[in-house]
Chain A
Amino acid sequence: MTADLALIWPELILTIGGLITLMLGTFAGDRQVGLYQGASLLTLAAAAAAVVALFGVNATVFSGTLSVDGFGGFAKLLIYAASFVCILVAPRFFTGGMRAEYPVLILFAALGMGIMASSRDLMTLYVGLELNSLAAYVLASFMRTDERSSEAGLKYFVLGALASGMLLYGISLLYGFSGTTDFAGIAARMGGEINIGLIFGIVFVLAGLGFKISAVPFHMWTPDVYEGAPTPVTTFFASAPKVAAMALTTRVVIDAMGPAVGAWQQIIIFLALASIILGAVGAIGQKNIKRLLAYSSINNVGFMLIGLAAGTQQGVEGVLTYLLVYVVTTLGAFLVVLQLRDAEGNQVESIPALAGLSQRRPGLAAAMAVFLFSLAGIPPLFGFWPKYLVFEAAVNANLVPLAVAGIVASVIGAFYYIAIIKTMYFDDKSDVEVTGGGNVVEGTIVAVSALWLSVIGYLFIPMLAIASAGAASVLF
């Protein structure tokens, strides 16, 4: 037990740090932003350091319910980094100071996500997922006086609860027909003859997880929640939980259902293609940049699923690299959105208001252009590389038609990305005077991520390859 505790340092740090932050908020008051923000950032940094310290360890703890390995470590680092950025940029958005609940909720959500990424048992899977979800529901409605925010929270909660129900139903079927909740045990059962009960279990579990990664057809909540939630929260939703849910899905699919490739591969292929196409088509005609980015995230999840559909180590490496690049791009894009304010300091979210941004804020527009071209996967921007990796994995797994379909559909996606660039660069200036201060922290993050995503990222390919290969090899 004590030995087990020594291997879950990141989770312990997050738990204790979260509680301390909560205490600080309670006793020092909401006004002491620096105090509780600092505490939460410190907690995340310490947790990340603990993850790094545990690199190389490959063990299971607590009777095989959690796994401490490179795969989980890779995902956790990404999750903590994204959470870090979302706490860092929040105070400027919540005018009048943010409340201490915000970083506390993010810390607990991050804890839940870490458990998701490490789980190798249906029980821990569910606990981690719900810990994350409950925090997320509250975060979505964080601006409780704002109608859109409350609506987003409610919608997220109702639909999320439905998805949890489906997931639980799937879990109970898997348990019922395999007699165990352990991934390895389930996999052993899958190796034999697969009966209809197990198939239903797989379908329902994948449906529940599909909701979490907002894959079509379980994506309906995404645009509404992304639009309604406060922008820092949307930034968070679009980054960290995607990593956690994708990591969890990968683990479930490869670890627990691995032997039954025939049963899940078609489902993943369907989810992938539907997400790519609907994500792309749905985005056309959106007027709100946050909604648009929501569709973009649906679209990108589709590409990740192509890598997963391959079911090979190479595919999982592709998914991990994709997640990393996606998180950097998404954080960058949302930070640009955070910077857009009109003369009165109100957030600008409408796309037509971006017209002529390249003349008003050339640097910001250029960074946004980099993020969008990168999301579209146009070389030489670095967003091309993970797309290449997942397609390569699909081709190598003899899924050539899937690769062709996905790659052709990516052209539809390019259409709306370049449509925004058109608005920023080709259109005349809009009436909305986009000002927004040059916040040093945000500006630096935006600039660094834009530079990294331009061409510099390619220099990191060898490093990324080693990291993702190390992480992915754990599952095979």
Chain B
Amino acid sequence: MSGGLPILSLMLAVPLVAAVLCIYAGDRNARLIALAATLVDFVLGCVLWAQFDIGGAQWQFTERADLFGRFQWALGIDGMALMLIMLSVFLMPLCILASWDAIKSRVGLYMAMFLIMETIMIGVFCAQDLLLFYIFFEAGLIPMYFIIGIWGGANRIYAAFKFFLYTLLGSVLMLVAMIAMIREAGTTDIPTLLAYNFPPEMQTWLWLAFFASLAVKMPMWPVHTWLPDAHVQAPTAGSMILAGVLLKLGAYGFLRFMMPMFPDASAQLMWIVFALSMVAVVYTSLVALVQNDMKKLIAYSSVAHMAIVTAGLFAFNQQGIEGALIIMLSHGVVSAALFFCVGVIYDRLHTREIDRYGGLAVNMPAYALFFMLFTMASIGLPGTSGFVGEFLSLLGIYEASSVVAFVCTTGIILGAAYMLYLYRRVVFGELTKDDVKAMPDLTAREWTIMAPLAAVALWMGVYPESFLAPMRGDVTTVVARLAPAKPAGDAHLAAAKPKAAKAHEGEAAHGSSHAGGVQ
């Protein structure tokens, strides 16, 4: 514990208490309470980051209390959890601001749901007990179900049910696996489980059960179909938090549980992840290309980005995993920003149909600028957050398998295609439609939301080290844990050949290419 103050418990308690207050406060007060609580949590998060000892012990700020008998109130963070908690507390006040005017009915309940969501998200990332983690992990369903169902679009009920049942089905399978793990290892303590060697035969089953749950959360193709529906129907802030943080839960689970706890199974079954990721990258990018609903387009792009994350993670090397983590953070910021961009124009025209817009650069220049920045970050232009993540993860993937790297790169090209296509249709062209002409540029409140998002996207692009440094130690630990099981990647295979054969082959290859060149 740092300084004697249970800062993690405090971060969990602040939004929870505020949520109760929100329900009893009036509409206007509820907004203020929610904003204040989320800002307090953000400040606490900054304190956490500032006091985090990079290169120190893996688990810091640990708290332990034997409240529940069979499992513990055990909290603690490593660098990875720290970054994801930062992402959550950073996005949360922006989400509250984004819903400031957009939500008009039952504001108190709405704010309470968001605050509960915040507690749950922080709880998921800092839980050090398997059951505690599961409780937080699954609890997220309830507020999100209400957020989509009460304040969502016309088809909100279908989307809310689909979201709830899909993710529930996934996570109950994980629960059975957890029970089996607890039985085998005799503990619910995550740090202990991370060092426990499960029998390889058992690992396969556990891995599959966890995969069923986490793949739905990610979401991976083909269990991704709940995501576009949920995004399209959710209110703007709901989409922001869904894309920004909730989609990261799956990848976090891969990194925290599946890979270090079941290294043998991970190595054995990595082809499943690679295969699904490849399909997802190409397929969902193509689907995104033909969307006419902006939110759907960004939702499909999220699936594609997450597929690169999974491929990067299963590259089993430092670059791949670091890259995946940076994509997670970057996507958290950028997709939340993109959903907010959609929300801004949706609030003005009440449609998300791309064809209804055009020429916004003329009357909304500031908007066009921000939107462009986020589009570029999503594509992965150097200098933005997207580039760092994609570059690192592709480097890692290439080392594991050049074929997978090749396919994933295709996805990046397609990504550029759909994002630029979206941007062109919405922002460029002539401003012909009267209702679009009448749309005013960003308000002060919208500026307040856009600016920090843009700043972080650039910061991450220009100096990613500040985000990578806290996580490096954890990534090294995971890589070391995976090392004995790690299959040789094809890049290594070439290097491992006997020198003579390699030289001979190299000559032949050189000769043929040379010959080709002459012709």
Contacts and interface: CB of A to CB of B under 8 A. Distances in A.
A436 B135 CA distance: 35
Nearest to A458: B68
Interface stretch (A107-115, A118-126, A258-266, A392-400): A392-400
B168 interface: yes
B216 to A, nearest CB: 12
B381 interface: no
B507 to A, nearest CB: 58
Contacts of A465: 69-70
Chain A binding surface, main DSSP class: helix
A407 to B, nearest CB: 5
Contacts of A359: 106
A272 to B, nearest CB: 15
Contact of A407 (B67, B68, B135, B173): B173
Nearest to B73: A458
A388 interface: yes
A415 B70 contact: no
A452 interface: no
A196 interface: no
Interface string B183-196: 10000000000000
Nearest to B180: A395
B161 A384 contact: no
B142 to A, nearest CB: 6
A119 B183 CA distance: 34
A425 interface: yes
A407 B175 contact: yes
Contacts of B160: 422, 426
Contact of A422 (B157, B173, B176, B179): B157
A384 B171 CA distance: 13
A194 interface: no
A197 interface: no
A185 to B, nearest CB: 35
A12 interface: no
Nearest to A415: B165
A352 to B, nearest CB: 14
Contacts of A403: 176, 179
Contact of B172 (A407, A421, A458, A461): A407
A428 to B, nearest CB: 11
Contact of B176 (A391, A414, A426, A461): A391
A322 to B, nearest CB: 15
A6 interface: no
Interface stretch (A78-86, A127-135, A169-177, A373-381): A373-381
A415 B162 CA distance: 10
For chain A, the bracket of interface size reads 20 to 34
B164 A380 contact: no
A462 B68 contact: yes
Nearest to B182: A392
A373 B141 CA distance: 11
Interface stretch (B32-40, B79-87, B143-151, B245-253): B143-151
B161 A415 contact: yes
A474 to B, nearest CB: 21
A28 interface: no
A404 interface: yes
A411 interface: yes
B176 A407 contact: yes
B138 interface: yes
Contacts of B165: 411, 414-415
A378 B146 CA distance: 14
Given A396-B183, A418-B164, A411 B169 contact: yes
Max chain B Cβ within 10 angstroms of own Cβ: one of A391, A396, A422, A459: A422
A181 interface: no
Given A411-B168, A414-B164, A426-B157, A378 B142 contact: yes
Given A395-B180, A407-B175, A458-B67, A422 B135 contact: no
A391 B175 contact: yes
Interface string B84-127: 00000000000000000000001001000000000000000000
Contacts of A400: 176, 180
B391 interface: no
A414 B173 contact: no
A271 B99 CA distance: 49
A42 interface: no
B141 to A, nearest CB: 6
B139 interface: yes
B134 interface: yes
Contacts of A388: 131, 175, 179
Contacts of A392: 179, 182-183
A461 B135 CA distance: 15
Interface in A362-384: 373, 378-380, 384
Interface string B38-67: 000000000000000000000000000001
B296 interface: no
A42 to B, nearest CB: 35
Given A407-B173, A411-B169, A462 B156 contact: no
Contact of B168 (A378, A396, A426): A378
B139 A379 contact: yes
B127 to A, nearest CB: 12
Nearest to A465: B69
A41 B228 CA distance: 56
A296 interface: no
A461 B68 contact: yes
B142 A373 contact: yes
A410 interface: yes
A408 interface: yes
B229 to A, nearest CB: 15
Contacts of A461: 68-70
Nearest to B148: A426
Interface string B223-243: 000000000000000000000
B161 A418 contact: yes
Contacts of B156: 426
A203 B175 CA distance: 33
Interface in A422-476: 422, 425-426, 458-459, 461-462, 465
B138 A378 contact: yes
A321 to B, nearest CB: 11
Nearest to A418: B164
Contact of B183 (A358, A384, A395, A458): A395
A432 B294 CA distance: 40
Interface of A: 358-359, 373, 378-380, 384, 388, 391-392, 395-396, 400, 403-404, 407-408, 410-411, 414-415, 418-419, 421-422, 425-426, 458-459, 461-462, 465
Shortest 5 CB-CB distances between A and B: which pairs? A462-B69, A379-B135, A380-B139, A426-B149, A461-B69
Given A415-B161, A425-B150, A461-B70, 14 more contacts: A378-B139, A378-B141, A378-B168, A384-B135, A392-B179, A392-B182, A400-B180, A403-B179, A408-B172, A414-B165, A422-B157, A458-B67, A462-B68, A465-B70
